[in-house]
Structure 1
Amino acid sequence: MTSAPNHSTTHAPGQLKAVCLDVDDTLLDTQRASRQGLRELVGTDRAWPVWERTTDHYYARFVNDELDFEAMCVERTKAFFAAFGEQIDDTEAARRESVRMAAMQSAWGLFDDARPCLDWLRDSGVRLAVITNAPSTYQRKKIAAVGLADVFDAVVISGEVGVAKPDPRIFRTACDALGLRPDEVAHVGDRLDTDARGAARAGLHGVWLDRSRSERGTVGDVPVITSLHELPELLVGDLPAIPAMPELIG
């Protein structure tokens, strides 16, 4: 677990005291980095829809413990090239994946709204955590690479705790690590079902970060934001002791 200094709060019982966040495509612009990796691999990202569908399929198998991370990467790469009629073996798939991975990692970076939002939350006395579905070493490397290694009070990774979002247990593990009740914690992520609704089912305040702007307002009982710049405004109503910062809102 990565620790950060504790900050005192003046919140009454039942008020939000912590915010958990997903990593990929929430804080970190993973799609942009992945597209860069694909361009390095095949010279273009025009095949992105095929790569994305293939990744969704094989990453789900990883999350469900059907494949380890390395095997997932190899099988995904073989399946991607097979979709275009090229059959490659495990060795060649691993070689190509290493090329893609190096290019992707060199392109890792935060969304422009991530650091201002995290700074506002931290400066306001809100505790911070990460909840992410990923292998441990890989995800911790990613968090460190974008300068967030010392930001969070808790880092909860599916590869370490043995359960993955949207399983309620991973959200409750984060709450336990923070020493808070679920109703005192919000979770923000880019996946409606995996993040927002999964958190809500676990008793947290789920928030969907819909960067594609496909929805606005709420989806059922889940509030929707289109940028992390909107998160302070959403939370201020539940955290009246925290001052609004207009330059980060809207």
Structure 2
Amino acid sequence: MLKAIIFDLDGTLLDRDRSLNNFVEHQYDRYDALHHVKKEEFVQRFIELDKRGYVWKDRVYQSLINEFEAKLDWQDLLDDYIEGFQNHCVGFSGMVEMLDFLKEKNMKLGMITNGYERFQDNNIKALNISDYFEVILISEREGIRKPDPEIFLRAVNLLGVKPEDSIYVGDHPSNDIEASLNVGMRSIWKEDDFQNKPLNTTWTIRELHEIRVIVENSGDT
């Protein structure tokens, strides 16, 4: 019986690509020492170095300053990122409506995200979705990160459900989909054009509103 749905954050609920682009453009505009470089060039290089969030920004900013010979302290840019990114967070279309529907269906909701505690907490609050979730696990706070099975089992245990009675929704083929299936959960892969399709997944969606159809057709909620 379906009792719980647990979500990834970046690339699943948070439109990280759009949020990051918005932030980097705004940061460029505010730092005159970057203006000897074209905005488009700066933004594109930032995105390349960021590698979809898998490179922390200390390394990104150090590389940018060296490459563009900018007269700036990389730590200043990093601090600005940590505090300012939350102001540019954008959720995917249909996010709130989908969460409202799941709460109306009495689904227990959780979230598991890799990342730094303060940074991810700020982003979740910026999306104004904290109150939907009974459990929010952030890797730095938990001392463990996806794809380790323990963080998935910890989430379902805290929600008081069995793995087989829960679904995990994520965009990463191994960290999200393969890892959740390995502990006995069902999975929804949110398609990502930059990732290879996972070898196995219970369902695949393109838009968050499709989760509603999956829940309605499950027949055992």
Query: Higher helix proportion, which one?
Result: 2
| Residue in structure 1 matched with residue 200 of structure 2 by the alignment | 221
| Residue in structure 2 matched with residue 86 of structure 1 by the alignment | 69
What displacement does 1:225 show? 0.7
Q: 2:86 aligns with which of 78, 85, 105?
A: 105
Distance 1:219 1:149, change over 3 A: closer
Give a deviation string over 1:175-209, Cα, whole Å, max 9, x none: 11111111111110121221111111122112110
Q: SS of the residue aligned with 1:130?
A: strand
What's the Cα RMSD here? 2.6
Q: Are 2:171 and 1:190 aligned?
A: yes
Which 5+ residue runs of structure 2 have no aligned equivalent? Answer: 30-38
| Residue in structure 2 matched with residue 24 of structure 1 by the alignment | 10
Q: 2:20 aligns with which of 34, 39, 56?
A: 34
Q: How many residues align?
A: 211
Do 2:174 and 2:198's aligned partners in 1 also have CA atoms closer than 8 Å? Answer: no
| Residue in structure 2 matched with residue 176 of structure 1 by the alignment | 157
Task: Tell me, in whole angstroms, the C-alpha distance in 1 between the residues paired with 2:194 and 2:52.
Answer: 24
| Residue in structure 2 matched with residue 206 of structure 1 by the alignment | 187
Point out 4+ residue stretches in structure 1 off by more than 4 angstroms.
45-49, 100-103
Identity of aligned residues (%): 23
Q: SS of the residue aligned with 1:186?
A: strand
| Residue in structure 1 matched with residue 33 of structure 2 by the alignment | none
What displacement does 1:241 show? 5.0
What displacement does 1:228 show? 0.8
Do 2:65 and 2:74's aligned partners in 1 also have CA atoms closer than 8 Å? Answer: no
Distance 1:152 1:96, change over 3 A: same
What displacement does 1:57 show? 8.6
Amino acid at match of 1:167: D
Q: Are 2:165 and 1:165 aligned?
A: no
Which 5+ residue runs of structure 1 have no aligned equivalent? Answer: 1-14, 61-71, 243-250
Return the TM-score normalized by structure 1.
Answer: 0.74
| Residue in structure 1 matched with residue 77 of structure 2 by the alignment | 96
Return the TM-score normalized by structure 2.
Answer: 0.83
What displacement does 1:133 show? 0.4
Distance 1:52 1:175, change over 3 A: same
Task: Tell me, in whole angstroms, the C-alpha distance in 2 between the residues paired with 1:136 and 1:214.
Answer: 25
Do 1:38 and 1:45's aligned partners in 2 also have CA atoms closer than 8 Å? Answer: no
